Structure 1
């Protein structure tokens, strides 16, 4: 696998999704990565090439569950220095490079993974490179906690404006907006509080 440094949003997105896949994050959901098939779907949804090239095993699943905690720790690191150290550790698990490789527009920097790298090691390199790219391009203040009261999620805000508030706008943001709407309707109703 080759991870392009300039595509840090891909790795940051996978890091966010993986860190928030645990049932301990959203109190209303169960384990997102509950079996090897779920992990294979996760990899395919995020276009991680391991999904097409490997048969995912229970051992892979256990390693990814352990990795998920390391990624979450990097996202939740209280200081930029600690976030960098944790992300560097992720990349060093199976990262090779950096390498300069040709592409249609000239040359691009990449970090590759060792051919024998496990699924978890490839994910470690992908997420670590994504977090390092985000730290370099956007800064540590873009590493945030989810604003939804019922969620303990974390995320990297890679949006252009930098105003994202929820780890999953489609889930947490929508739930929060619906709750706010219902509260306003209740306050404004003739039966009121």
Structure 2
């Protein structure tokens, strides 16, 4: 796998999607088997997951969450460097599909799936910290949600770990509250 160094947003979404599979966020385990893991990683050139990979990636999920909850930028960078080093090798310069030179971090040929995912997430989140800062790691603003996420948006205004779920719930609750206030 070649992990692009300049385009961290896709890897950040993998990190966000991975963290949001937790029972802490969803109320039940969303990463229950190899099919769920394959769906999460469908856009990446990783080996087909097997049952043993699921438990390892669940453990990795806890490590990624710990990075997002880290108290300082230095702590986050130190943890991310360890993740990036799981299967990552020295950066290489390669042409992208448009013919421009880009930096990539390759992973070892015999790297385990969890090592490739760790390297992908580590490189992406290191890019986020470098480009946008540690304050882009946030807790979900939805009441009662225990989710965390990394905000790679340009404006930096993302508020929810899963906008389609937590954000929608909050919008519905706000709408109902406004309707009750008008009806009085």
**What TM-score, normalized to structure 1?**
0.91
Find the aligned partners of 1:42 and 1:8 in 2 and give their Cα distance. Answer: 17
**Pairing partner for 2:82 from 67, 85, 89:** 89
Find the aligned partners of 1:20 and 1:144 in 2 and give their Cα distance. Answer: 13
Q: Could you report, residue by residue, the CA deviation over 1:25-65 in whole angstroms, capped at 9, with x for unpaired residues?
A: 23xx4211111111111111xx1222xx42x2111001101
Tell me which moved more, 137-146 or 97-106. Answer: 97-106
**Pairing partner for 1:129 from 123, 131, 134:** 123
Alignment pair present for 1:57 and 2:50: yes
Deviation >4 Å, runs of 4+: none
Find the aligned partners of 1:102 and 1:49 in 2 and give their Cα distance. Answer: 17
- 1:22-171 aligned at under 5 Å gives the runs 22-26=22-26, 29-44=27-42, 47-50=43-46, 53-54=47-48, 56-103=49-96, 104-171=98-165
Find the aligned partners of 1:48 and 1:22 in 2 and give their Cα distance. Answer: 21
Find the aligned partners of 1:17 and 1:167 in 2 and give their Cα distance. Answer: 9
Find the aligned partners of 2:163 and 2:29 in 1 and give their Cα distance. Answer: 19
Structure 1 unmatched ranges of 5 or more: none
Q: Could you report, residue by residue, the CA deviation over 1:122-150 in whole angstroms, capped at 9, with x for unpaired residues?
A: 10000001100000000111111110012
Find the aligned partners of 2:158 and 2:36 in 1 and give their Cα distance. Answer: 27
**What TM-score, normalized to structure 2?**
0.95
Structure 2 unmatched ranges of 5 or more: none
- Aligned length, in residue pairs: 183
What's the offset of the Cα at 1:24? 1.3
When the two chains are superposed, the root-mean-square deviation of aligned CA atoms in Å is 1.2
Find the aligned partners of 2:55 and 2:162 in 1 and give their Cα distance. Answer: 24
